Structure 1
């Protein structure tokens, strides 16, 4: 199934690798030209580390389909990075979005609290007209070795919606070179989810890094609310997305995997 009404559960061995919340707004050009000193001062206690990077902007294309096609390179976009003292939380601000991410997800309530202050400060200082896209992404990486499930097939651990070919008895799981599922589904009148699911190896792109040979299951959920969301409703929009995320995640699990993740 794609959705489950299984009660919300905290897992001691949850497979969450990274969580990202991003809110996009109509471009505020002053952010690109003036360093956000007032914003930094408002959040410096929680995010004391700071760096500025220049991201390449996509070129502007005009005259598409006509004889006078022009491609104009655009100036780079300033991307301001604010990190917590332990480096586990990162806040990004550009002229188009504000985003919070973490590689050590403590649960939704703590994540939402970590976002409250910087988001309120950003709205107060920059007064975005509205949010064009409110997004919440959960990247889950499931390791059978970590959970003591070596020797178990993915078809025993992940729901049929994402493992259908792996359930065919005439082909062993190890013979599949690729078996990914990509789904875009409407969740309600304003929310959608893009889901990527499938087994694979995680590559470490660092020079000389030792590669992990284990085949893991990647379950990547990108949930978002499009349209113009008033700034005062941003928190409610994120709560709605989180509610959908829980139903999707639980819908992907079998009871065998739930038990291995050690529910609290």
Structure 2
């Protein structure tokens, strides 16, 4: 197992935790202000974000207002929606620090407006691996494992030069409802993660080549199972369990050369 601390030049650009729950009424202003006070250490500023959702009955889009709490640097946010609590950051400090924000958000939500249960817990990590190009085509086999690169060499004899490549693999665990998905690929173009009005990515790179590793681990309530009561401690236990393999999934996907020449080099 590799170290648990983030690399000095880590490629992680976005970390998300989502806890889905039965639909509930939106937080009113007093409840949101109470939650804001409880989360003042992490996300002291209140915002409202407008998003479009599809009405499943009519197929039309409708605007939905989501109350959010954000950090002063706008790199961490907490969203209390009608069906989910979402914690996001573009400046990942490591799991132990990030889980403190999640635990505080779970407690705050239950204190200001109790929920009836929870149905899904998901963790998502998006890495954009960038390496020195020296104005040459990147041979990604120097930086990530060959399993992630597809049949580029096999088709080279046909005069075909691979420009981009993407794939997805999904894995189950021995525990019911738990799974992991890994989306990966060599990409040339705009970054996968950009800034929004309430969640900012600092120093966003220009369009160019990068290798995407998009890891999603989740626990999903099985259709025949009873909905468990909303219990922040139990939710955190599941989140901790889901998180454990994610770091090693990343480490098993990259090469020592990437670690030594890119990730361990401070900016």
TM-score w.r.t. the length of structure 1 is 0.80
Q: Residues of 2 paired with 1:173 and 1:201: CA distance?
A: 20
Which residue is 1:131 aligned to? 118
Which residue is 1:255 aligned to? 256
Which residue is 1:233 aligned to? 234
CA distances 1:210-249 after superposition (whole Å, capped 9, x unpaired): 9834310011111111014552311111111111212211
**1:87 match: secondary structure:** coil
Q: Residues of 2 paired with 1:45 and 1:250: CA distance?
A: 32
**1:114 match: secondary structure:** helix
Q: Residues of 1 paired with 2:30 and 2:188: CA distance?
A: 42
Which residue is 1:68 aligned to? none
User: Which deviates the most, 26-35 or 165-174?
Assistant: 165-174
Within the alignment, does 1:215 sit opposite 2:201 as a pair?
A: no
- Count of residue pairs brought into register by the alignment: 246
Contact in 1 for aligned 2:31/2:112 (Cα 8 Å): no
CA distances 1:191-213 after superposition (whole Å, capped 9, x unpaired): 1122110111342689xxx9834
Deviation, 1:160, is 2.2
TM-score w.r.t. the length of structure 2 is 0.79
CA distances 1:6-48 after superposition (whole Å, capped 9, x unpaired): 3344322221111111111001124379862322232234322
Contact in 2 for aligned 1:78/1:95 (Cα 8 Å): no
Contact in 1 for aligned 2:26/2:81 (Cα 8 Å): no
Instruction: For structure 2, list consecutive stretches of 5 or more residues without a partner in the other structure.
Output: 196-203, 222-226
RMSD of aligned alpha carbons: 3.2
Deviation, 1:187, is 3.0
Which residue is 2:68 aligned to? 81
